[in-house]
Structure 1
Amino acid sequence: MITLANAPVSYGVFEMDAEEGVELPGADELASMIAAAGYRGIDSGPIGMLGRGEELRDRLRRHGLALAGGFVNLPLSDADAFAATLPEYRDAMAFFAEGAELHPDTPPRPTLADAGSDARRANPGGGAGLSLDAHGWDTLARNVSSAVEIAAEYGLRPTFHHHACTHVETPDEIDELLARTEIGLTFDTGHLIIGGGDPLEGLRRWSGRIDHLHIKDVRTAVLADVVARKAGMRQVWTEGAFVPLGTGDLDVAAVMEQILSSGFEGWLVVEQDVIPQVGDEPGQPQAHQVLNRDALTPWFGTESAA
């Protein structure tokens, strides 16, 4: 079964600061809008934003949502920094476990990502001399394995997000991660394009390891311009690189047919990462998420599971 979710980042709510003068929705408003748009799950946004313990479960119940997962950023290639983040990481796993109690059949997937480096953050798409050396890969793989073991203590099975401006971004880097670890892959159409990959080829290439999906449509000309300028990820979000499904350059139909033919089961999270701007049309994020859900109707009907 595939279950559809959306994410607070589609509304501009994530770890990045909002633009001055822009008011972002709170937890209840987010949950209400995502449910109203036709999704059955919600990603966490910043850990704890949706509440903790019974507050979290009550919010999910009231809006008829399950917790789908959430982004967990870790300094995986730095042994000392990783060790220092473990208390915070354990707290994040406790949060996901609190949400998992409500819907044990569709548990949340903690979505791990490497924190990257200043050089990677300045160079979306990577480039010569920016990849980890053998020692760095050894460290990253060891820390990923430790993170998986810790998550298991909380009854959770994390997944790994190849992410722009990190050390696991390009197709070759994804191959290296998968060769060195046993963790499943969160496949993200937009971030793969930034990293120089092709979504259809990637879906075929890593089919046996993909266990979580982030789907977003992209305007490749905007991405290419940001990468060429080495402008950083904030410009990807503020300049509107990610657009509603079917309005960008992603072959949505081909991607969905490939996903369904692969036998994938799990969460499919619609993520249209944005940083809303002063002057945006009122209600634009919600209108876009309704459009995204409507674009999936040929494969999921008006229900959000298949």
Structure 2
Amino acid sequence: MTTPAGLRVAGAPISWGVCEVPGWGRMLDVSTVLSELAAVGLTATELGPPGYLPREPAELNALLGAHELGLVGGFLAVPLHERVDSALAAAEASAALFAAAGGDVLVLAAATGLDGYDERPMLDDTSWHALVRTATAIGDLAASYGVTTVLHPHVGTHVETRGEVERFLADCELPLCLDTGHLLIGGTDPVELARRYPERVGHVHLKDVRGELAQRVRAGELPYTAAVGQGLYVPLGEGDIDIEAMVRSVHDAGYRGWYVLEQDTALDEHDAVDLPGRAVARSLAHLTDVLGRLSAG
């Protein structure tokens, strides 16, 4: 979707419960997800977890084209502190695919190597420096395909907390994916971060969250997966993040990249198939209002 302000809005399969975590929940079929994504008014999407959408460029282009969708890029969660060759190979495969299918953003997360995002061992300094070197190498590799790499602070990864976000910004030149939900859950105010480091915002994932549940996850009282199941994420404007202030901050600083609606969802067998689409439509309506005021101002 292109807004009157010339800003670009896209979606992602995770808003329909499509996740790389084993046992996350009910996985809707590709046709349903892409049809609903287009039906709410979005014209582009991130790729989703490996294997969900085709990995062959011509097949992927044909599938997205059938739904009148473009490709933004995609998310890649791999360990960066170990098994470096594997991380580089995965990043190159993703960058090559994105470039061939019209995408230009590689959203990189520093995975722990464990399944899911509920446990997170700490890194020593040696492993941290390896993480930074690998992230930098992936950025250079992706750039050779015309793809920008952004580091995604993410719950249950090795860049989650406010201290880790600040350390990464100091140690590595890669821009960030400013994910409003994951940052808040990890203890970073996304609005403040956008104001302090406007030049480091390379991509934006827009989420809204229930602050009380976010606090329980942050305090270790509630596993992340359980919190998602209890409604941690809500449509934009219905939670405790000042989405308008964040969008206005990055826009005023010159950001003209994608705003990706990403409302992490886990579905069970009793949930209505159209539940995610209705939630995304509410988020899009709220964001459209925000962007309309941005254009007017």
Same-fold call, TM cutoff 0.5: yes
Once residues 219 and 49 of structure 1 are traced to their aligned partners in structure 2, the CA distance between those partners, rounded to angstroms, is 29
Q: Deviations over 1:178-236 (max 9, x none)?
A: 22222111001111111111121111122111010001000011122234345432123
| 1:99 paired residue number | 101
With the length of structure 1 as denominator, give the TM-score of the two structures: 0.86
Give the unaligned 5+ runs of structure 1: 101-106, 125-129, 302-306
Check whether the contact 1:160–1:184 (CA below 8 A) recurs between aligned residues: yes
Once residues 28 and 178 of structure 2 are traced to their aligned partners in structure 1, the CA distance between those partners, rounded to angstroms, is 27
Matched residue type, 2:97: F
SS at 2:48's partner residue?
coil
SS at 1:187's partner residue?
strand
Q: Deviations over 1:107-136 (max 9, x none)?
A: 430101101266x95457xxxxx6533322
Matched residue type, 1:57: N
SS at 1:159's partner residue?
strand
Quick one: structure 1 residues 200 and 49, their matched pair in 2 at CA, closer, same or farther if it must change by over 3 Å? same
- State the number of aligned residues: 286
SS at 2:219's partner residue?
helix
- Once structures 1 and 2 are overlaid, which stretch shifts more, 41-50 or 274-283? 274-283
Check whether the contact 1:28–1:59 (CA below 8 A) recurs between aligned residues: no
Check whether the contact 2:20–2:50 (CA below 8 A) recurs between aligned residues: no
Pairwise CA distance, 1:262: 2.1
Q: Deviations over 1:78-110 (max 9, x none)?
A: 2xx12234333322222212212xxxxxx4301
1:27 aligns with 2:23: no
Identity %: 34
Q: Which aligned pairs between 1:1-306 and structure 2 lie closer than 5 A?
A: 1-18=6-23, 22=26, 24-51=27-54, 52-78=56-82, 81-100=83-102, 107-116=103-112, 121-122=117-118, 131-301=122-292
With the length of structure 2 as denominator, give the TM-score of the two structures: 0.88
Once residues 88 and 300 of structure 1 are traced to their aligned partners in structure 2, the CA distance between those partners, rounded to angstroms, is 35
SS at 1:158's partner residue?
strand
Pairwise CA distance, 1:29: 2.2
Give the unaligned 5+ runs of structure 2: 1-5, 293-297
| 2:3 paired residue number | none
Quick one: structure 1 residues 205 and 44, their matched pair in 2 at CA, closer, same or farther if it must change by over 3 Å? same
Once residues 39 and 63 of structure 2 are traced to their aligned partners in structure 1, the CA distance between those partners, rounded to angstroms, is 14
Matched residue type, 1:170: T
Once residues 113 and 62 of structure 2 are traced to their aligned partners in structure 1, the CA distance between those partners, rounded to angstroms, is 38
